[in-house]
Amino acid sequence: MAASESLSSASFTATLPELTTSIFLPNATDASDQRFVTDTDKVFFIAVLATNSISVAACLFVIIAYFFLQRKYPRVMSRTSLKLSIGMACSDTIYHV
Residue 27 lies in a domain: no
The answer to whether residue 50 sits within a structural domain is yes
The verdict on residue 15 lying in a domain is no
The region, left, alpha or beta by phi > 0 then psi within -120 to 50, assigned to residue 38 is: beta
How many structural domains compose the chain?
1
Residue 51: which domain range?
A: 34-97
CB 63 within 8 Å of CB 89? yes
Identify the pLDDT of residue 77.
87
| Closest of 68, 86, 70 to residue 78, by C-alpha | 70
Residue 48, domain member (yes or no): yes
Q: Is residue 74 in a domain?
A: yes
**Residue 4: inside a domain, yes or no?**
no
Pick from 43, 86, 46, 80: nearest CA to 67: 86
Taking only the tens place, the pLDDT of each residue in 13-54 is: 555 455 455 555 555 555 554 566 788 888 898 999 999 999
Could you give the count of Cα atoms lying within 13 Å of 86 in the half-sphere of its Cβ? 14
Residue 91 lies inside a defined structural domain of this protein: yes
Task: Judge whether 7 lies within some domain.
Answer: no
Q: Residue 32: its pLDDT value, please?
A: 54
